[in-house]
Amino acid sequence: HPHPKQTMKSERALDYYFCDETGIEVFYYSYDHPHTAENYKLWTSLLAQGKRIWACAGGDKHRCASDGALTTVYAKNKKSSSLLAHIKKGDFVCGGVGIRMCIGDTLMGGMTDFLNKNLNVAVGDFHKRYYEEGHRYRFDLIDETGTVASLPFACKNPFSFNFRVNPEARFYRVEIFDETRGFRIAIGNPIWNSKYLSQG
């Protein structure tokens, strides 16, 4: 759903919900744009209601390339089929920072049983627009209750994190903040707990 809160003005989050495994353009124009803040609030409201919606990014520059709101995909090659294979599963990042996450062998955007499993995350590959020498960066691991782990790191070095998941959590996702500028610069899509699939 492109620029949802700018296209529609409803206050009911479910008015923007079409079905699970679709995306909402959260980063719009840039990570620090007021429209991004509106769309982020909508996306998190849908997550709070048990909806499995992906966070997407878009610069709305239909004829001109822009790096203001990027999507990061780890694909085998630069072909549409390879990129779309990840996008249609939700295995991509809203923002210009590389986030790779899995629980067992389930990647971002997916669903799995959380019982006796670990979450593994690797962060790196900052796009040049997002990399600022001397800035403080923060990694946040988030579930439906809020932030469950928050760690500082330097963007010069790849960062990795391993976490024993709570089998009762509904989902896990990752955000990267540039603390110096005070903005969220990347949102990894969630991995959902299959235990709750039938409960909505």
Predicted pLDDT of residue 62? 64
Tens digits of per-residue pLDDT, 114-160? 999 999 999 989 888 888 888 999 999 999 999 999 999 887 778 89
Output the CA torsion 107→111→117→119 (10° steps): 40
Tens digits of per-residue pLDDT, 171-199? 999 999 999 999 999 999 999 999 997 55
Q: What is the token pair recorded at 137?
A: 């960066």
- Residue 162 near residue 104 (C-beta atoms within 8 A): no
Please list the residues that pair with 100 across neighbouring strands.
Answer: 122
* C-alpha closest to that of 4 among 32, 26, 33: 26
